[in-house]
Structure 1
């Protein structure tokens, strides 16, 4: 009987202890909790009230909490809170895991900071023992009347956030919390407002919460609405995204994606994230006056991110792609200039340097296809197709193609940015471009027939298009085979007034184009002619000279040699000189004045004799077209290539 009484007493005591543990609010632990927290944090902790309900999921309520900042830091308090409620699971504590089902904060202000050395004010001063720190999991968060200030000298970030609960609307997304935020990141201002569910399901719930954000980062505007789940775990995202700004490059460094400089843009799409992958599907928008659509993905990887995109455009305006290769739009700047730079001195080759650090910051695989191309000037582009591959600092455009004058301009270009100066290897070919579409604004060319082929091979080094061309080595070859050309144009070049006048009165006719050939050797940015011939049944035109790519200057001479007899001919060499920005066409005045002087002198003897110096006996001979073309096998092959499908349409 005595043993039974003892066992009954022990059981009774245990029951009483369990009942006491379950029924008491444990407020007497306020002092011990203050002292323990002060010891572990290494700074003073003050607590006005402590309550706890001991359960498998224990609820702890703290009132009037204040935590001092680290020594010599401002403000004096790192954290002040009117009320904090924590729901913590007991069993995981046995394996050094802290699982918080809920952290609810009401009426609080926190000041978090990290200096340039990386030291911060939120890391514990000491650990419990020499073992690893406990694993902390926060599954849900609720904030009301909470302000957080964050100063990070490592990230160059200074931010503030204010969270307030809001009344859940009767219809629509169940937003229960409003977040207002702002600050600066890498000297760029940002700010905005977000709305979320009243309790954020941060981990393992499987239930995403509604999310809306309207924010500005510098000049960039972002709006997104949808669902977000487990941001500290898999961070699933499924939102409708609307983003706009003056240039895509301003997104860097907000996101580690070195996008190019572009005109103003706006892009909409569906953004989804699963793990380390972001997918933007159903993308539609504009960049400048160019429309863009397609799908893109961004994968965060250990070494560097990977961007993949398949893009299409109905109408591609080339001025929107110009900044990609360093072309600057000078129109806005000219409005503010008191004295615009003279055209004769204006450089037109792009000189903006490629950003080496950005070419090495990401890998990419991007395609872009455009159905129609718009371009300033007398260029005959039709459509556009490009495949960009960037891997470990080596950028390949394989291919970069244009529909050009009813044919194709095909190119493969490699830029190696693994060293301070980019090394470039370019192979460009023009296939079966039609003469009557090469210069659509020149009426005399519209009556010409024939096809142009070209083959360009260049190797160079430089960090801008201008620098690359100024150091280029290689070859340039062009050939035109078959067809006809305006006789009025040929006679005008030869300064044959009588025949030109006859064509003007009787109507222009075409003369057979036997061949047209141009070959240049390029050395250190200077292209020197090796063969330059235009041969028709009526006239042969020989040329020679140089094209200075480094200084953008022309020095070419063309000498017409008519094959027929004619009067009123003032034939003289024609020089093409000046700069790329302001080319000048000049007639050799010495040769012209010699004929004119002889004509005037003879006029004193007999007025009819004045025509003698202006009579052309036709010294021109046929060029060796077969021999010339045999040295341009690739260019000739391009000229005779089958017409690309769909390129024969009139424009």
Structure 2
């Protein structure tokens, strides 16, 4: 039987051809999934899985990966991956890849990507990836041209920020430009509802030296934020040309947005330029208002590392106001900020101000928030050219505020009054049980009495007031600090006008009837005024208070209880000439700070001679007190003259 012999060449060609046909018939790019998963997992330090893999070969090859997932790290739910996409389509330029020795991908399309980002109270999160970045100056192994996102979604949960955000993310095609990134935002932030939208440049244009446009509009509760401009280094906020506008009813609500503790304020609107310099956020060219106070300047915010793990917010600023309403600064001392009539106040703020004015207590009793102060270092320089407000005797304000390790320094705090000023250093130091220890040393330097009178629309009179006050106290609010405080207050004046002195310096609206009862005309020249008061455990005792005028000598005794906010002061006068209608008794100022009463002390009917004897006894400590008071250069020694001549004899 004859045998069939195939040519040898056919065997060499046919067998590989059959194998090739079988390979083509049964080929699957899914065979390369394990290799692709290993490479991708190594690149980001997280397990990556791929459902299916397809490739359309060509000069521009198209690689399609379906059901792509990036797993959570250990300790997070395994059934809900950190990120997933229904389909990832990448174009690969083989020729350019060969020429550049890098994988060149002209375009990537992410279809229906979903991100579930979360952090925990212990500081761990699932969104920090261990991405290997190229060395400086070295080209990237992967070079992507355009990234498109179709129907993307993100859910972000950050408990430490009280944030639960949902984002709808997609790219928008624009003629002649790369697709721009756009997102709508909803959910909660800082335990407040948040809504907004953001439009940026091309996703893959997030690289240095290329301006990247951005426009953001957000509403977080009642706070509104607008940010628009360009960045040259978006990931580091470098080379910024951004305009930031903030507006809302209360700057204290910005703490969760900025990390900076801010006292409660009246409604505000501020705008300025935002960038980052040497790792610090800088808000410069600020222009705006807080209540009725204009504000300008620069503030920078950074983070300081203390030890190995603790970080602190560090705030440095220089602020300036042309005009300041002191009521707008009420939040700094635990008072309701603003006024009922301040434009733009919310109904809630107006009701709070009305309740504050109606309550029995006057001194600010809002607790000082120590945890906020102890987590932030602050250095702020502030000056105001003028002070506005009804019956405010101050002309200007300057202070240097420093907060470090929870200790607050105001050094100095200066209030201008005419040609003089009230200047002092104030320190608040954390104490036990959430309290603060306060120390204050304040000097009254040539206070212009005519400026004090202008506050009550009285434009006559002259003279300067000098003195000094020292205070120490411990509490959790300014009311409790004063209510347990100790210290001294010394004041003195030569010359001036009596009516303005009594009305403005005592802080009481004494009626003309009171002046008449003391035998004092509505306008009379002041020869000398001396006050020596001592504060002991919250009770201010009037140790020596004497007023010598052309017509009468007046002495004040009694006390002011700062803890209970009660007055118990007696005014007694000795006329230098015969006066009709002068009451032969003390005038009693008593009652609460909010509603004091003024009138003759019933039950005390003292002969005028007895009054003179009592006043004479008060002159003895004045002689020792005078050297501690600087009455001003070039003024006469009227107070010394008062002591030398003694108490005048009563008229007969």
Q: TM-score range by the shorter chain?
A: 0.7 to 0.9
2:214 aligned partner: 211
The Cα offsets for residues 31-70 of structure 1, whole Å up to 9 and x where unpaired, read as 3315863996998934333338899xx9873332243867
In 2: Cα distance, 1:621 partner to 1:260 partner? 48
In 2: Cα distance, 1:133 partner to 1:484 partner? 77
1:63 aligned partner: 65
The Cα offsets for residues 124-160 of structure 1, whole Å up to 9 and x where unpaired, read as 9xxxxxxx98558898755343212233456543222
In 2: Cα distance, 1:298 partner to 1:230 partner? 19
Query: Structure 1 residue 241 and structure 2 residue 244: aligned?
Result: yes
How well do the aligned residues superpose, as a CA RMSD in angstroms?
A: 4.4
State the aligned residue count.
569
Q: What secondary structure sits across from 1:253 in the alignment?
A: helix
Query: Structure 1 residue 145 and structure 2 residue 151: aligned?
Result: yes
1:323 aligned partner: 331
Contact 2:418-2:447 within 8 A present in 1 as well: yes
Per mean C-alpha deviation after superposition, the further-off stretch among 403-412 and 521-530 is 403-412
Q: What secondary structure sits across from 2:603 in the alignment?
A: helix
1:280 aligned partner: 283
In 1: Cα distance, 2:540 partner to 2:501 partner? 30
Q: CA shift at 1:375, angstroms?
A: 2.9
1:181 aligned partner: 185
Higher RCO, Cα 8 Å, sep 6+: 1
Mapping of 1:438-449 within 5 angstroms?
438-440=452-454, 446-449=459-462
Contact 2:392-2:455 within 8 A present in 1 as well: no
Q: What secondary structure sits across from 2:335 in the alignment?
A: coil
2:315 aligned partner: 307
Q: CA shift at 1:493, angstroms?
A: 4.7
In 2: Cα distance, 1:261 partner to 1:323 partner? 5
Q: What secondary structure sits across from 1:510 in the alignment?
A: coil
Structure 2 residue corresponding to 1:428, chosen from 421, 442, 449: 442
Unaligned runs of 5+ in 1: 1-23, 125-131, 596-613, 644-651
Q: CA shift at 1:324, angstroms?
A: 1.4
2:205 aligned partner: 201
Contact 2:312-2:376 within 8 A present in 1 as well: yes
The Cα offsets for residues 523-556 of structure 1, whole Å up to 9 and x where unpaired, read as 1111112111111232111121111111111111
Contact 2:193-2:220 within 8 A present in 1 as well: yes
Contact 1:576-1:584 within 8 A present in 2 as well: yes
The Cα offsets for residues 232-265 of structure 1, whole Å up to 9 and x where unpaired, read as 4575533111111112221122222112221111
Structure 1 residue corresponding to 2:632, chosen from 635, 640, 647: 640
Contact 2:424-2:440 within 8 A present in 1 as well: yes
Q: CA shift at 1:168, angstroms?
A: 2.3
Contact 2:324-2:386 within 8 A present in 1 as well: yes
In 1: Cα distance, 2:623 partner to 2:415 partner? 25
2:508 aligned partner: none
Query: Structure 1 residue 518 and structure 2 residue 531: aligned?
Result: yes
In 2: Cα distance, 1:84 partner to 1:334 partner? 55
2:37 aligned partner: 37
In 1: Cα distance, 2:452 partner to 2:83 partner? 71
1:191 aligned partner: 195
Instruction: Pick closer, same or farther for the CA change 1:63–1:397 going to 2, 3 Å.
Output: same
> TM-score if structure 1 supplies the norm length?
0.75
Structure 2 residue corresponding to 1:471, chosen from 455, 476, 484: 484
Mapping of 1:605-644 within 5 angstroms?
628=622, 630-634=624-628, 636-637=629-630, 639-640=631-632
Unaligned runs of 5+ in 2: 1-23, 135-139, 306-310, 341-346, 503-510, 636-652
1:610 aligned partner: none
> TM-score if structure 2 supplies the norm length?
0.75
Query: Structure 1 residue 107 and structure 2 residue 107: aligned?
Result: no
Instruction: Pick closer, same or farther for the CA change 1:32–1:632 going to 2, 3 Å.
Output: farther
1:166 aligned partner: 172
